């Protein structure tokens, strides 16, 4: 952890690899928790194609981040990009919107972990869930405030474990059913497949988190860009290969389950692998939360000038406060927090991608490819907004 | 020589028949239900088929019950066919029937399960780990508006929470 003056210690690139891969899902949580739901039950028979196309579609937003990071690599991340492109005022709107989004995300995700995911692996935890909610929130916050560097090493270990579990899980499905290229074709429901592709693409939206560590990674912006691109590519390939076999579950209720990977492991292998999938998937979600927490501290440091340590305490206080508030009615407040969080996320990203187009226009170098990546990126975020608003729980 | 071979074949068949009858009797002993799994590929309709016949098809991952999903109270024999590619079973749970099962049998096989149903709601599911969560779960109602177990005509498929 940086000292109270806000100085950033040099970050070995190996730790940024772990951090960057954790941000992409990540990635076991993508496979075992999020992806089947994002793809949807009607497009499950095309899950290989949907995942591949979703990853390919996300090349557009990645390209914007990539090009921005060639100009500036700092703790400000996306806020710094926006400031560079369109000035301080819009950048502050973008930055604070992003802070609201991720602060709320931390609050409801800890509820998801304790109330939805943990009982899948440990059904006996039900009576203890409120205590666990407080314990997980306080424990994670304390670890990130007082031992951030250790947490980064744990993230690296978690990533290795996730890759192993993903390969074993996919291997278990393949050993029972074999490889089928039909997962990469559109058998029917082309509308559902198209929607699944956009949904799957949005799962990579947290891939911007490593950009907030641009001010401290050893090797600077060049190393940052190498790791961001490399981790995204590696995770995309791994996810496509391990998700494609799940097409055998077409017609089942897999997409509607809380922890689909757990059920798949139960069917294909047995209780032992299922338990491992659940435990490592939970670690995967907690790892993503840790990455978000760290990125938030860097952004607050960049926007307010506060030391990183002080920023971490602020984020921790907000996180624990939200967790305590959610104790009033955890499952209801979960659904009430997720909507404003995602709306803020997509709005903040639209500002970043729109700023890129504006910057190129102002510099009089707006090529067709710039226009295309701007349009695709903004369109994807607007699709995300449409999904969130149409599913909001308030009315 | 041929005479002795026939005698031996008859003796083996008789032993198999006695063992099969014994197994059926054990299955129907104490709970008011009986189950008769058949070998994979078999088309067994033997065993206790003393109730109204209801045909059930199992596959990955749905349960299809022929006819109506609303039955009158009475004794039913579920004639279960595994139309899938892996082992499945039919398990019934509800008033007076506590998780009675055909036992898991292989793809292509059939099994019978006889149960006495009272007024109420019964859960029909496959108890192989994970299969119920994936959709091998159906509900039948006994009592209100019951019209007897349908065994022919248009089938009803209930997979998870929806009809298809």
Q: Sort out which chain A residues have CB atoms less than 8 A from B130's CB and list them.
A: 263-264, 266-267, 274
Q: Which tens digits make up the pLDDT trace of A108-159? A: 899 999 998 999 888 889 899 999 999 999 999 999 999 999 999 999 999 9
Instruction: Tell me the Cα Rg of chain A.
Output: 20
Residue contact B131–A251, C-beta within 8 A: no
Instruction: Give the pLDDT score at A264.
Output: 96
Q: Do residues A98 and A344 lie in contact, with contact meaning Cβ atoms separated by under 8 Å?
A: yes
pLDDT in single tens digits along all 164 residues of chain B: 444 445 454 444 444 444 443 333 333 333 345 555 543 333 333 344 578 999 999 999 999 999 878 889 999 999 999 999 999 999 999 999 999 999 999 999 999 999 999 999 999 999 999 999 999 999 999 987 444 443 323 334 333 222 22
Residue contact A251–B133, C-beta within 8 A: no
Residue A343 to residue B109: CA distance in whole angstroms: 52
Instruction: Give the pLDDT score at B37.
Output: 52
Number of Cβ atoms within 10 Å of the Cβ of A361: 13
| Helix (H) or strand (E) segment spanning residue B111 | strand B110-117
Number of Cβ atoms within 10 Å of the Cβ of B102: 29
Q: What is B12-50 written as a DSSP string? A: HHHHHHHHHHHHHHHHTSSSS-EEEE--TT-----S---
| Residue ranges of B 103-122 with Cβ closer than 8 A to chain A | none
Phi-psi region of B91 (alpha: psi -120 to 50; beta: other; left: phi over 0): beta
Residue contact A249–B133, C-beta within 8 A: no
Residue contact B128–A257, C-beta within 8 A: no
Name which of A176, A252, A266 is nearest B61 (Cβ-Cβ): A252
Secondary structure string (H, E, C) spanning chain A: CCCCCCCCCCECHHHHHHHHHHHCCCCHHHHHHHHHHHHCHHHHHHHHHHHHHHHHHCHHHHHHHHHHHHHCCCCCHHHHHHHHHHCHHHHHHHHHHHHHHHHHHHHHHHHHHHHHHHHHHCHHHHHHHHHHHHHHHHHHHHHHHHCHHHHHHHHHHHHHHHHHHHHHHHHHHHHHHCCCHHHHCCCCCHHHHHHHHHHHHHCCHHHHHHHHHCCCECCHHHHHHHHHHHHHHHHHHHHHHHHHHHHHHCCCCHHHCCCHHHHHHHHHCCHHHHHHHHHHHHHHHHHHHHHHHHHHHHHHHHHHCCCHHHHHHHHHHHHHHHHHHHCCCHHHHHHHHHHHHHHHHHHHHHHHHHHHHHHHHHCCCCCHHHHHHHHHHHHHHHHHHHHHHHCCCCC
Find which of B58, B133, B157 to mutate to test the A interface (most A CBs within 10 Å of its CB).
B133
Residues of chain A with pLDDT under 50: 1-5
Number of Cβ atoms within 10 Å of the Cβ of A90: 17
Instruction: Give the pLDDT score at A312.
Output: 96
Q: Do residues A145 and A1 lie in contact, with contact meaning Cβ atoms separated by under 8 Å?
A: yes
**Exposure b/e, B36-67, CB count within 10 A at least 16 = b:** bbbeeeeebeebbeebbbbbbbbbbbbbbbbb
Instruction: Give the pLDDT score at A243.
Output: 96
First vs last C-alpha separation in chain A? 43
Instruction: Tell me the Cα Rg of chain B.
Output: 17
Name which of A176, A253, A266 is nearest B129 (Cβ-Cβ): A266
Single out the residue of A323, A245, A334, A269 nearest to residue A35, CA to CA: A245
Largest CA distance in chain B: 64
SS3 B3: helix
Q: Which tens digits make up the pLDDT trace of A72-93? A: 999 999 999 999 999 999 999 9
Cα nearest neighbour of A269 on chain B: B129
Q: Which tens digits make up the pLDDT trace of A215-252? A: 999 988 999 999 999 999 999 999 999 999 999 999 99
Find which of A266, A267, A268 to mutate to test the B interface (most B CBs within 10 Å of its CB).
A267
> Hey, which residues does A236 pair with through a beta bridge?
none
B159 touches chain A (CB under 8 A): yes
């Amino acid at each position: 952890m940086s000292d109270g003056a806000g100085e950033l210690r040099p970050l070995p690139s190996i730790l940024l690899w772990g951090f960057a891969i954790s941000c992409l899902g990540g990635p076991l949580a993508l496979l075992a928790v999020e992806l089947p739901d994002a793809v949807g039950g009607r497009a499950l028979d095309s899950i290989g194609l949907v995942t591949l196309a979703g990853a390919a579609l996300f090349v557009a937003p990645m390209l914007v981040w990539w090009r921005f990071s060639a100009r500036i690599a700092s703790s400000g991340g996306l806020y710094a990009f926006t400031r560079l492109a369109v000035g301080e005022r819009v950048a502050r709107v973008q930055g604070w919107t992003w802070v609201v989004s991720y602060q709320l995300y931390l609050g409801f995700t800890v509820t998801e972990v304790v109330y939805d995911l943990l009982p899948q692996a440990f059904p006996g935890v039900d009576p203890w869930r409120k205590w666990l909610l407080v314990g997980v929130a306080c424990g994670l916050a304390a670890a990130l405030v007082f031992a951030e560097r250790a947490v980064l090493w744990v993230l690296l270990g978690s990533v290795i474990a996730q890759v192993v579990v993903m390969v074993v899980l996919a291997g278990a499905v393949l050993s029972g059913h074999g490889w089928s290229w039909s997962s990469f074709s559109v058998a029917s429901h082309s509308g559902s497949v198209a929607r699944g592709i956009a949904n799957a693409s949005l799962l990579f939206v947290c891939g911007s988190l490593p950009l907030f560590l641009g001010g401290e990674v050893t090797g600077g912006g060049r190393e940052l860009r190498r790791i961001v691109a490399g981790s995204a590519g590696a995770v995309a390939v791994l996810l496509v290969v391990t998700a494609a076999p799940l097409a055998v579950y077409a017609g089942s209720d897999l997409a509607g389950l809380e922890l689909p990977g757990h059920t798949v492991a139960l069917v294909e292998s047995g209780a032992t692998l299922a338990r491992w999938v659940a435990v490592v998937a939970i670690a995967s979600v907690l790892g993503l939360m840790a990455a978000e927490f760290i990125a938030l501290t860097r952004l607050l440091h960049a926007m307010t000038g506060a030391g990183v340590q002080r920023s971490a305490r602020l984020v921790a206080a907000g996180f624990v406060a939200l967790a305590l508030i959610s104790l009033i009615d955890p499952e209801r407040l979960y659904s009430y927090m997720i909507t404003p969080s995602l709306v803020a996320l997509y709005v903040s990203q639209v500002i970043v991608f729109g700023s890129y187009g504006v910057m190129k226009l102002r510099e009089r170098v707006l090529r067709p490819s710039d226009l295309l990546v701007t349009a695709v990126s903004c369109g994807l975020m607007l699709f995300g907004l449409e999904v969130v608003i149409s599913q909001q729980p308030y009315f | 020589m041929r005479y002795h071979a026939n005698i031996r074949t008859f003796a083996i068949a008789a032993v198999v028949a006695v063992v099969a009858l014994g197994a059926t009797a054990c299955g129907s002993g104490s709970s008011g239900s009986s189950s008769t799994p058949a070998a994979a590929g078999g088309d067994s309709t033997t065993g206790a088929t003393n109730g109204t016949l209801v045909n059930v098809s199992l596959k990955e991952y749905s349960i299809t019950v022929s006819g109506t999903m609303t039955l009158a109270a009475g004794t039913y024999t579920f004639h279960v066919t595994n139309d899938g590619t892996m082992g499945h079973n039919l398990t019934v749970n509800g008033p007076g029937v506590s998780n009675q099962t055909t036992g898991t049998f292989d793809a292509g096989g059939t099994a019978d399960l006889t149960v006495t149903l009272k007024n109420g709601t019964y859960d029909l599911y496959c108890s192989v780990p994970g299969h119920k969560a994936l959709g091998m779960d159906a509900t039948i109602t006994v009592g209100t508006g019951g019209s007897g177990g349908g065994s022919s005509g248009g089938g009803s498929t209930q997979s998870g929470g929806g009809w298809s």
